[in-house]
Amino acid sequence: MTEIGVKAGDPRIVGAQGRPAVRALVVDDSGFFRRRVCEILNDGPDIEVVGSACNGLEAVEQTARLHPDVITMDIEMPVLDGISAVRRIMALHPTPVLMLSSLTYEGARATLDALDAGALDFLPKRLEDIARNREDANRVLRARVHALGCRRPWVRAAASAPVSAPAPVRTRHAVRAARRPQVVVIGTSTGGPAALQRLLPTLREGYPFPLLLIQHMPASFTGPFAERLDQLCTIRVKEAEDGEPVLPGTAYLAPGGRQMLAERRTGGVRLRITDSRPEVTYRPSVDVCFASAARAWPGGVLAIVLTGMGADGREGARLLKAGGSQIWVQDEPSCVVYGMPQAVVGAGLADWILPLDEIGLGLARQF
């Protein structure tokens, strides 16, 4: 039976004409880049830049004084670097932080350190790397800042509109799949790195099923992220390679900038890593991988949609559900951004809606 939860109305999100602006603090040691980011954010109707800072120490002080809703943070800065600033901010004045980082191996490692310190998301500092043209890139930045700036616990608690459907499922004990799956496929975006680092270590060596992981990430980030996950987990975690077999007890992370598909061949299922079609927005895409899993393991997939912006995963979940596979989604309170899980729930495709920790317990205990 599908359990559907209804998101209560957020009193701050009522349309561009009436909703309060998200208040942003911009932090970067480059005056040129600070001005550019401030101009981009102020150009949107729902964001107001309330201050800027040129180093991490100033960012901590400005956060205490201005109480912004969201902070954009550089990594390499004088006086106090961005990672150290995030740690102090989270200890003293917890505030959503969006890191702006370079697309290099070292930049990826530093960004992952910042996420470990408490930052919620990241974007490339070269905004042109996230979209086909400048205005699209500016819209992506504004959308990400607005989404994180709306993530306030006291706002969520105040949202008390009556619901018209059953509340989300929140069991105290691990759920069990309706049938024993052959593979676990997990899709996520904003907030996903922290969620995966919390979820996957619950699985023990000898886990009997393979896992496919689709995390929206640039190409330079997925290698270091797979290495970090592998260090944290007792199961093996690796960046997926073209043509390799899908084996139990191993988690395969889709390479950034490309698509990961599962294909059944003689002798078993293998991965195909391919360039993306221009019309596909996300690279890697949850929808693309889910659809291939539906073909490779008919009715044998346990698909999980975790925190993330947008609706990637909904159409792939529709194909999986039609073939008899099961869909779990992360519940809203434990998400950084509820967009991807909400899209699946809203389409009536979710079998279970669970807090992140209970998803981990479900995966660890039922197999």
Q: Which of 113, 121, 216, 351 is catalytic?
A: 216
Q: Which of 28, 69, 312, 351 is catalytic?
A: 312
Q: Tell me the H-state helices in 297-355.
A: 314-322, 339-346
* Euclidean distance between CA atoms 247 and 184, whole angstroms: 12
Question: Which string of b and e fits 150-179 if b means at least 16 CB within 10 Å?
Answer: bbbeeeeeeeeeeeeeeebbeeeeebebee
* Euclidean distance between CA atoms 191 and 320, whole angstroms: 24
Segment (H or E) for 225: helix 219-232
Tokens of 135: 């205005």
* Euclidean distance between CA atoms 209 and 181, whole angstroms: 8
Residue 229 burial (10 A CB sphere; 0-12, 13-18, 19+): buried
- Per the annotation, the verdict on 146 as an active-site residue is no
The three-state secondary structure class of 49 is strand
CA dist 150 to 78, 131, 193, 338, Å? 30, 23, 20, 11
- Per the annotation, the verdict on 312 as an active-site residue is yes
Tokens of 185: 């496929």
* Euclidean distance between CA atoms 215 and 218, whole angstroms: 9
* 27 DSSP 8-state letter: E
Owner of token pair 């886990």: 207
- For residue 9, the tally of other CB atoms under 10 A from its CB is 12
Residues in the chain: 367
Say if residues 63 and 89 touch (Cβ distance below 8 Å): yes
Bridge partners of 121, per DSSP, are 98
Say if residues 243 and 272 touch (Cβ distance below 8 Å): yes
Q: Which of 52, 101, 189, 334 is catalytic?
A: 189
Say if residues 288 and 317 touch (Cβ distance below 8 Å): no
Residues that are catalytic: 189, 216, 312
